[in-house]
Each structure stands twice: as C-alpha cells, then as structure tokens.
Structure 1
C-alpha cells in the first residue's frame, strides 16, 4: 500500500505557508507604523487557501511562474502575492496618511503566531502517528 504524504499534510503545509507570509506582511506593517503615507496590508487567509488549493489541483495557472531550465528546478510560483491587499483602517487618519493601528497589528501578529504554532503541533502529531503506524506495521 502506497503512502500519500501529500494527502496527509498538504492542507496543513499550505496553512503554515499562508500564516508565515501573513506574519511577514504584519511585520512590515509594524515596521512602517511611523512612515507617512504607508497603508496597512494584510493577507486574506480564506482566499489564500483557496488559491493554494486550486494551484495544487492545477486548475489555475499563475502568470508569475518562472521558466524552469532544468527538470530538477523548483517551480517559482508566487501564489500569495495576489492575496496581499490593503485593509480598511479602524482608526481615523492621523494627518500623515498612515493607516497602521499598532495595537491591532500586534494582536493580529500574536494570533497568527499562535495559529501557526497550533498548525505545527497538528502536523507533528500527524507525523508521529505515521511513524508509529510504520514502525508497528512490520510486527
């Protein structure tokens, strides 16, 4: 019986990638909290996961693919870049055009970090279960 690791971890792997990229975007927002004219950005998790799922099934072809010059090269698909968007600010304009709400961004970063850790724990549990099944399969 063949083991399909993609079926086992694919969705969780994609979720970790999206959350990691969201944390990068939020970090950029926090770093630019005092930059005049900077607009807060975010990644829509649901939309990014739909994009990742459709990219896996081959239903969507992204024009940002890099050309592979050798069969061992990885595809250079940037699936999340289209999911990064500006968000509507919850606070009034401070006069400099910056829309970063530092407290909101810190909370979003912490929440995303906790969800990332939970995803890692879930993935770790799946691998432990697989390892246990493989080691007891021969007995």
Structure 2
C-alpha cells in the first residue's frame, strides 16, 4: 500500500519539477522577446517525464504536443540523463533581429503550463489528504 502511494507521489513530484523547469524556460523566452538573436527554447514535457520516471507509469500513455523543431546541439540533459533535452523553437515568421520568440505562443504555453502545474499540485495535495484521512479513520476505529 505505502509502496504504491510513494510510487504515485514520486511520479507526480517528477511532473511538478518538470513543470517548474518548463515555466522557468518559458519565462526566460518572454523576458528575452526583444533580445536580438535570442532563440526561444523549450522541451517536450511528455518525453522528459517518461525519461525522468523511466517510463514507470505502466499502461498510462503520456501525450503532450510541443511546438518545437530542431534539437539543440549540446543541449542540457545529455550528460545526466535526468534533465530534459532542450530544443530550439522554430521561428513562426522571420525577424530582422533573428529573434525566434513568438509572444502569442509563449503566453499560451505559459498559461497552459501554469494551469497544469496547479492541477498537479492539487492532485498531490488531495492524494496526501485522502491518505491521511484514511489513516486517521483506521486508527480511531
């Protein structure tokens, strides 16, 4: 019982950590929207989560689309195997300053990721609360 609980919480904790890292990257992209030559970066969340958990979710299929193209040469994560592999975002339209940040896409990604982060946090909180309530009712009986 405890083993299943910790496995589920480990999975959700990994998801929460990756969501926080993705939020940091998206915020960095937004902050550099006016930086000449800046190339927006992100990572495929589903692949990163599968890599971080070792695919330990059984029959559960992860599905999240990333709006990214070319993998970055020497991107983070190649050394440790635990960090997500960063990708460069494909420029939606050409700019004179060669900046690839698409503010509409970044804002949408920021909000989407923030909502998913919050829902993961609520799930973890609910799971812990339910488990604690079950243990309290069992000890009181």
8 Å Cα contact 2:30/2:101 also seen in 1:
yes
Counting only pairs closer than 5 Å after superposition, residues 109-128 of structure 1 correspond to structure 2 as: 109-128=110-129
Q: What residue in structure 1 maps to residue 35 of structure 2?
A: 35
8 Å Cα contact 2:25/2:41 also seen in 1:
yes
- Measured after TM superposition, the shift of residue 10 of structure 1 is 1.3
- Measured after TM superposition, the shift of residue 94 of structure 1 is 1.3
Q: What residue in structure 1 maps to residue 99 of structure 2?
A: 98
Report the 3-state secondary structure (helix = DSSP H, G, I; strand = E; otherwise coil) of the residue aligned with 2:33.
coil
Distance 1:23 1:126 in 2: 24
- 1:87 correspondence with 2:86: no
Gaps spanning 5+ residues in structure 1: where? 57-61, 66-77
Distance 2:32 2:55 in 1: 32
Q: What residue in structure 1 maps to residue 68 of structure 2?
A: none
Gaps spanning 5+ residues in structure 2: where? 57-76
- Measured after TM superposition, the shift of residue 6 of structure 1 is 2.2
Distance 1:63 1:109 in 2: 25
- Cα RMSD over matched residues? 2.0
Which 4+ residue blocks in structure 1 deviate beyond 3 angstroms? 62-65
Bigger radius of gyration among the two: 1
Distance 2:114 2:39 in 1: 22
TM-score normalised per structure 2: 0.76
- Measured after TM superposition, the shift of residue 127 of structure 1 is 0.3
Distance 1:39 1:133 in 2: 50
TM-score normalised per structure 1: 0.77
